[in-house]
Amino acid sequence: TMSSEPVNVNEFKALAERALPKMYFEFYAGGAEDEHTLKANEEAYQRITIRPRVLVDVSRIDMSTRMLGYSISSPIMVAPSGLHKLANPEGELATARAAAASNTIMILSFGSSYSVEEVAASCNAVRFFQLYVYKQRHVAANLVERAERSGYKAIVLTVDCPRMGRREADIKNRMIVSKQKNVEGLVSTEVDAVSENDFSLFSYTTEVSHINGQDVAWLKSITKLPILLKGIITHEDARIAVEVGAAGVIVSNHGGRQLDYSPATINVVEEVVHAVKGKIPVIVDGGVRRGTDVFKALALGAQAVLVGRPILYGLAAKGEHGVKQVIQMLKEELELAMALAGCTSLKDITRSHVRTERDRCQ
């Protein structure tokens, strides 16, 4: 038989497609409407080239860094994504162990299939918790309190979801959200129910309110944890994030699952980096599939990247081991890219190491 051992992260997608029911695979893989932004996230990386410096001693490469003061082995972290049990019965417990074994930070999704407490008990590691703020504020307050008590080190407030994007594969497949463990007993079944005429996933999230600076102030009043804002893609919002006291921003378009035709994230990293003026870290996600992508993101000013779908594909294909492999592959590719481009540590990766389309026009 042909060897199916994957040699890169992209190959896990095909393995996941084989392993999963169509409905679940498409829930993970899909994006909003025309999926323009979904594709653009990956394609934009392919239009950035690397300017290697070769007269450099690269016998030792150090990829380690810190995030909000916590050491991680590389600038590659695990993005929050819901419902890992659809990929593997061990769900987020497996993902959490793989992230811990890789010495990196996992951001647990609000919509996880295991609870904040269950994931915290799965293994010892630094983790962040991703939050949606519902109109029913008591839900958010309850989750923040539980996350803090369970030892999560930061709150990642997702701000690009005032309503769910229109994911047509999920509509066609009549994908129904399975139980979200964290909100059990908190969200009334009336709100929780997916009505017969509305097959959209998480239809009750229309109950999510629009987030503004005051919401962040409220959140700060109920927790001591640092708050990262996820879903910032303009300099205007980046400035507001700094003003309201965010501890960091995540440049994200939700992996192309929310507003279609929003820009590829790698193309707006610099805009956000310039706006925050080094006051807080900038993280980027969306379309990171290669170590060279991580290198490009760092060259454009990001401090780290999050990886979303490849983690789910690794989990679907091979469980905990698959997630470890995905992270390991990206790390090895980043290390090789750094060596070949003449960078021995992350701080050596500078703007002059990449050339974007805009650079070529000037």
Q: Which residues are annotated as a binding site?
A: 80-82, 109, 130, 132, 158, 167, 230, 252, 254, 257, 285-289, 308-309
Output the six-digit token pair for 207.
């109950």
Cβ closer to ligand FNR: 43 or 145?
Answer: 43
Residue 287 touches ligand FNR, criterion: CB under 6 A: yes
Rounded Cα gap, residues 87 and 319, in angstroms: 8
**CB of 262 closer than 8 Å to CB of 39:** no
Distance in Å, CB of 299 to ligand FNR, minimum: 19
182 is a site residue for ligand FNR (CB under 6 A)? no
158 binds ligand FNR (CB under 6 A): yes
For residues 92 to 131, the per-residue mask of contacts with ligand FNR, x marking binding by CB under 6 A and - elsewhere, is -----------------xxx------------------x-
- Kindly tell me which of 110 and 324 has the beta carbon lying closer to ligand FNR: 110
Residue showing tokens 């003449």:
342
Per the annotation, where are the binding residues for FMN? 80-82, 109, 130, 132, 158, 230, 252, 285-289, 308-309
| Binding-site member from 255, 291, 319, 322 for ligand FNR (CB under 6 A) | 255
Residue 299 tokens, joined = 């060259």
Residue 131 CA to residue 133 CA, distance in Å, equals: 6
- Site map 198..237 versus ligand FNR, x via CB under 6 A: --------------------------------x-------
* 8 A C-beta contact, residue 245 and residue 226: no
* Cα–Cα dist 145/142, whole Å: 5
> DSSP letter string over 209-246?
PPP-HHHHHHHHHH--S-EEEE---SHHHHHHHHHTT-
* Catalytic (active-site) positions: 254
In the shown chain, the binding pattern of residues 30 to 69 toward ligand FNR, with x for contact by CB under 6 A and - for none, equals -----------x----------------------------
Residues 362 and 358: their CA atoms lie apart, in Å, by 7
Give the span between the Cα atoms of 324 and 314, in whole angstroms. Answer: 8
Alpha-carbon span 257 to 160, nearest angstrom:
10
Give the residue, chosen from 6, 75, 82, 322, that forms a contact with ligand FNR under the rule CB under 6 A: 82
As a whole number of angstroms, the distance between CA 20 and CA 86 comes to 8
Q: Which residues bind ligand FNR (CB under 6 A)?
A: 28, 41, 79-82, 109-111, 130, 158, 230, 252, 254-255, 257, 285-288, 307-309
